[in-house]
Amino acid sequence: MAPQRPNGAGAQNDKGAVKRPSKRRPVPAQPRSEQLYAALDLGTNSCRMLIAQPKGGGFHVVDSFSKSVQLGAGLEKSGRLSRGSMARTVQALRICQQKLRKHKVKRMRLVATEACRRALNADDFINRAHRETGLRLEIIKPEEEARLAVISCAPLVSKKTENLLVVDIGGGSTELVWIDMKNVPKRDRPQSIMRLHSGFIALDKSMPAARVVDWISVPLGVATLRDQFNDVENDAARFALMSWFFEENLSDFSPYHDTEARERFQIVGTSGTVTTVAASHLGLKRYDRTKVDGLRMSSTQIDTVISSYLEMGPDGRRADPRIGQDRQALIMSGAAILQALMRCWPTDKLSVADRGLREGLLYAQMSADGVLDSGAF
């Protein structure tokens, strides 16, 4: 067998001539509009991720991941993340890491919210996740979580809206943001929401700005509120107590008492609770995002769905395919929050948003990079 020739400079070809080192052509940089972006939201109950490409004023989803990991299970009593919940979450993060590697994603934000904000051993968990998956999670503050939820809903904001309330019902907390857009020209109102990606105070004074009147992060979400009233056996009584207790925690939210701010008013609700109630209202046997996202429901329709949940009882809710196995244990605490909100701000309509923190993270990254078409709103 002939000896193997070394590769590279000085190697000879079959005729004995010395080869010149080949000059590799540089790989052209990927156009910014074709770059992939990722957003991961690790909440109290779920781990969810989107990988997307900018498209017009929005984006096209290339890949996604969603799994109930119950990271906050037991947190209310112990103040710590349990070994089991951390193990489940790390396993989910491994799948996310594989997807990010497969799609060669360079631009990403991977965030954790209320469970990690509250847990005494959150730093240990973050370090473990980085060690075992290579992913570095960032624990974001409630204000940023609220702001990102607002940004995600920008495409659903009506040009007629002067006062906007965005509500994000999470697993461990609920964020509410009240925005005044009276001084913004009608055609610019959705885009003025998008410009909040850099903060609740607009940096560009030359542009018409939406004004954040107030925001609040209530440390009660579908999981934490349920855990507080687990000892109440009667289903209807437990629901009533949860709704009352949540409303009590809104008393410091300043627009709560502002009756004049309710004209030309829009509520946008984003959460699994809101989309589940919408799917139940539509009678969907299989969830369809295209029918749910952007749907407007009246307060009467919402009350009708919630009443039907109470009539079903726990066993009926477990068997209802519109609610689903992952949501059935949390739907009544979420419904209690939703009903309290509709009671506080008597408006006939709620805009349903099948979008939230992940979408806000994507919009914020893309907007900061200048790859979104601002005229598409």
Read off the pLDDT band of 346 (50, 70, 90): low
- Average confidence (pLDDT) over 15-44: 64
- Average confidence (pLDDT) over 217-240: 93
**CA distances, 23 to each of 8, 9, 12, 20, 73 (Å):** 11, 11, 17, 9, 57
Q: Taking 90 as the threshold, does the pLDDT of residue 16 lie above it?
A: no
Predicted local confidence at residue 14, as pLDDT? 38
**How would you label 22-55 residue by residue, b for 16+ Cβ within 10 Å and e otherwise?**
eeeeeeeeeeeeebbbbbbbbbbbbbbbbbbbbe
Which domains are seen in the chain, by residue range? 32-140 (3.30.420.40), 143-358 (3.30.420.150)
Q: Taking 50 as the threshold, does the pLDDT of residue 118 lie above it?
A: yes
Read off the pLDDT band of 12 (50, 70, 90): very low
- Average confidence (pLDDT) over 284-297: 92
**CA distances, 124 to each of 48, 86, 137, 234, 269 (Å):** 21, 10, 12, 39, 33
Predicted local confidence at residue 264, as pLDDT? 79
Predicted local confidence at residue 303, as pLDDT? 95
**CA distances, 217 to each of 123, 195, 198 (Å):** 22, 21, 19
**Contact status, residue 357 vs residue 111, Cβ threshold 8 Å:** yes
Q: Taking 90 as the threshold, does the pLDDT of residue 78 lie above it?
A: yes
What is the rounded CA–CA span in Å between residue 78 and residue 90?
20
Predicted local confidence at residue 345, as pLDDT? 76
- Average confidence (pLDDT) over 318-344: 88
Range name among 11-25, 67-81, 214-228, 249-263 with the lowest pLDDT average = 11-25
**CA distances, 341 to each of 123, 151, 254, 282, 327 (Å):** 34, 20, 14, 21, 20
Predicted local confidence at residue 377, as pLDDT? 54
Predicted local confidence at residue 81, as pLDDT? 97
A 10 A CB-CB count for 293 gives 17
What is the rounded CA–CA span in Å between residue 171 and residue 357?
12
**Contact status, residue 103 vs residue 60, Cβ threshold 8 Å:** no
- Average confidence (pLDDT) over 134-155: 91
**Contact status, residue 360 vs residue 150, Cβ threshold 8 Å:** yes
Mean pLDDT of the chain: 85
Within 13 Å and on the Cβ side, how many CA atoms surround 349? Answer: 15
pLDDT digits (tens, 9 = 90+) for 153-191: 988 998 889 889 999 999 999 999 999 888 899 888 888
Higher pLDDT, 335 or 201: 335
